[in-house]
Amino acid sequence: MAKTHKQMMDELKENDSQMYEEIQNEIEQEQKKIKTNKKHGLKLIPVKDADGFYTKKFEDEITEEYEIISEQEYRQTVRHGGTRRNSGRRKIFEKPRRVTYEFEEETLIKLKDYAKKQKKSQNELVNEAVKKLING
């Protein structure tokens, strides 16, 4: 199973404490920079660099090598983790669901005969009938 970020950082702390300290210092510096820039009212702007990588930079950090892109384009291309697979509410109509209904025997016989004549499954015919009823 893959290691989590915390597990890898703990392992690094044990094996190479100097590298661990350098990483922690870089993180602290980056956090301070973000806080000070936010205090001065600078916004993070989505950009694309010359190599095609997407990121966000503060207004004063944007140079000619960066192309400013829309927030929507940034969200479509960059995914920051997000939710776990299959977590949360079930998707509605993700795939056909099996539903049971009761029919009168006469109606069921007519449905079977009609399905044979049309060379379709009973399922297809019921779906078509329901769609016609709903859409008018």
Confidence of residue 106 (pLDDT cuts 50, 70, 90): very high
Q: Count CA atoms within 13 Å of residue 122 on its CB side.
A: 9
How far is it between the farthest Cα atoms of the chain? 81
CA 103/CA 113 separation, integer angstroms: 15
* pLDDT cut 90: percent of the chain above it: 8
Confidence of residue 84 (pLDDT cuts 50, 70, 90): low
Mean pLDDT of the chain: 82
The answer to whether 66 touches 47, Cβ cutoff 8 Å, is yes
The structural domains of the chain, with segments of one domain joined by +, span 26-79, 105-135
Give every CB contact of residue 114 below 8 A, 6+ residues apart in sequence: 125
Q: Does residue 35 have a pLDDT over 70?
A: yes
Q: How high is the pLDDT of residue 79?
A: 66
Closest residue by Cα to residue 63 from 78, 75, 42, 47: 47
Q: How high is the pLDDT of residue 113?
A: 92
pTM exceeding 0.85: no
